[in-house]
Amino acid sequence: MENSAFNHCNLPPWVIASRHFNENPHPLEIQGVRQANHFLFERLRTIASAEERAHIFNDYMSVKFQLHQWESQASSSARKSLRNSYLRFLRGWMMDSNSVEGAVLKGWVESRIGIPPTFHRIRIPSIHSEQYMIFAVDRTKGSARTSAINSQLDLLYEYCQYELARKLPEERHVRLFRGTNDADDYEVLEQVGRREQIVRLNNLVSFTSSEERAWEFGDTVWEIRAPLVKVFFFGGLLPQSILKGEEEFLVIGGEYRVRRIMC
């Protein structure tokens, strides 16, 4: 699957997607987001409590994108546009990553990181294929439901990265697990060992930090070392997140070394 020639990052898409980057990650940033919201991050630096920082982030998002004003809008479409915030898309992904909400999150990765999806309801062989159009239609439908969703997701990613840097200041990777029932359908780029492969993952993928939990999602469980800079969201980042109890991580995809866990 080809990568886009363009993105909104400080590194090109082919670098970010590569196995070499995943094993030796470098800092990533969405261009201009922290600078445009410097007041928020300056405020966060003065607060010791992660829970309090999360409430400040939510309040900032509500004011910046006028999410709290949805009830006062004159039309139903305007009310829905503000009510359907980034939280709705996170919940939609949890219910079904192949939903229109899932398409919007995959679309954000494609737009900002430059890595297109390889699967949305069906396998996507190319951005020029008919299968890609199914994804594009869902992404358009989902994006029309809300206001400035990509800008909301930009800020969510940068906030996630800020919190991970405070939570794990000495780490560059996190050990995660994924359960799947269709391991043979993934594109294998290299067989490294008896239980290790280099696999191309979708541009946004759900993992869990719990090996036991991963077995609930499939008869094959993979372990990866995910670069912290490619973690888009993790359960517990937001106090009211319904992903919190699932120890779920949303990770930007590409070429990953996966190790099959034996039960």
Instruction: Give pLDDT tens digits for 242-262.
Output: 556 668 999 999 999 999 998
Is the per-residue pLDDT at 71 higher than 70? no
Instruction: Output the average pLDDT for the chain.
Output: 91
Q: What is the pLDDT of residue 215?
A: 96
For the segment 193-215, the average pLDDT, to the nearest whole number, is 96
Is the per-residue pLDDT at 174 higher than 80? yes
pLDDT digit string, tens, across residues 139-166: 999 988 777 999 999 999 999 999 999 9
Is the per-residue pLDDT at 77 higher than 50? no
**Quick one: pLDDT band at residue 80, thresholds 50, 70, 90?**
very low
Q: What is the pLDDT of residue 263?
A: 77
pLDDT digit string, tens, across residues 21-54: 999 999 999 999 999 999 999 999 999 999 999 9
Is the per-residue pLDDT at 115 higher than 90? yes
Long-range contacts at 121-130 (CB < 8 A, ≥ 24 apart): 123/185, 124/1, 125/1, 126/1, 126/2, 127/1, 127/2, 127/4
pLDDT digit string, tens, across residues 219-242: 999 999 999 999 999 999 997 665
Is the per-residue pLDDT at 135 higher than 50? yes
